[in-house]
Amino acid sequence: MKTIQLKVNGAVHSISCPPAKSLLDVLREDLGLTASKECCGKGECGSCTVLINDEAACSCIVLAGQADGQEIITCEGVGLNPNLDAIQESFIEEGATQCGYCTPGIIVSAKAFLNGIDHIPAVDEIKTALGGNLCRCTGYTKIIKAVQTAASRNSSEKEPVKG
């Protein structure tokens, strides 16, 4: 066992766990943050994606001991009802989710991608950014649309108020 410090969605936690336990299991079991999902458990599908120091990573293959002292953002940290983020609002508006298993991971990946750009991304850019996230239900069209919608919401928010 090892005691690790994690800053998750802004709150600092001290957790005692085996250091080789996955960060995903720590989030779900020790902290009760169950938005991040385990699907493949080996880095291939992205359903467990979280931000570690602002960069998207698959939490199923990050060991708890390696996350010690790092800053983690999960889908809960992107936004919770009723304070949803633009990307979450856009997913609802575009109907970009079906079973929902992949959705929290995609929201986190999309959030990291949108944080790094200030234009409305082309389809190919979105495909590259979300290449590590698989969805078995939607066929991606609506997911891509939702990311574009969120980008235009973000940019209209940033535009100076006229008049």
Partner 1 sequence: MLVSNIEMFSPSSLSECLTYLSQSSKKHKLIAGGTDAAVRMKEGKWRPEIWINIKNLKELRYIEEKDGCIHIGPLTTHTDILRSDLLKRKADVLVEAAREVGATQMQNMGTIGGNIGTASPAGDTIPALYVLGALIEISSLNTKRLVPIEQFFIGPGRTILRENEMITGILIQPQHPNEIGIFQKLGPRKAQSISIVNVAISLKMIEGKHCHGGKIAFGSVGPAIIRAKKCESLLSQGPLTEELIQNIAKVAWKEVLPITDGRATALYRRDMASALLERGLYRLLRRWENR
Ligand X SMILES: Cc1cc2nc3c(=O)[nH]c(=O)nc-3n(C[C@H](O)[C@H](O)[C@H](O)COP(=O)(O)OP(=O)(O)OC[C@H]3O[C@@H](n4cnc5c(N)ncnc54)[C@H](O)[C@@H]3O)c2cc1C
Residue 19 binds ligand X (CB under 6 A) = no
Let me know: does 28 contact 8? Beta carbons within 8 Å. Answer: no
Binding mask 34-53 for ligand X (x = CB under 6 A): --------xxx---------
**DSSP line for 46-67:** -TTEEEETTEEEEGGGSBHHHH
Which of ligand X, partner 1, ligand FES, none does residue 39 bind (CB under 5 to 8 Å by kind)?
A: ligand FES
Nearest alpha-carbon partner for 118 in 82, 159, 88: 159
Residue 54 binds ligand X (CB under 6 A) = no
User: Going by DSSP bridges, is the β-strand pair 71-73/2-8 parallel, antiparallel, or unpaired?
Assistant: parallel
Closest to ligand FES by CB, 3 vs 34, is: 34
Q: Which two tokens stand for residue 22?
A: 């996955």
Which of ligand X, ligand FES, partner 1, none does residue 47 bind (CB under 5 to 8 Å by kind)?
A: ligand FES
Note the residues at the interface with ligand X (CB under 6 A): 42-44
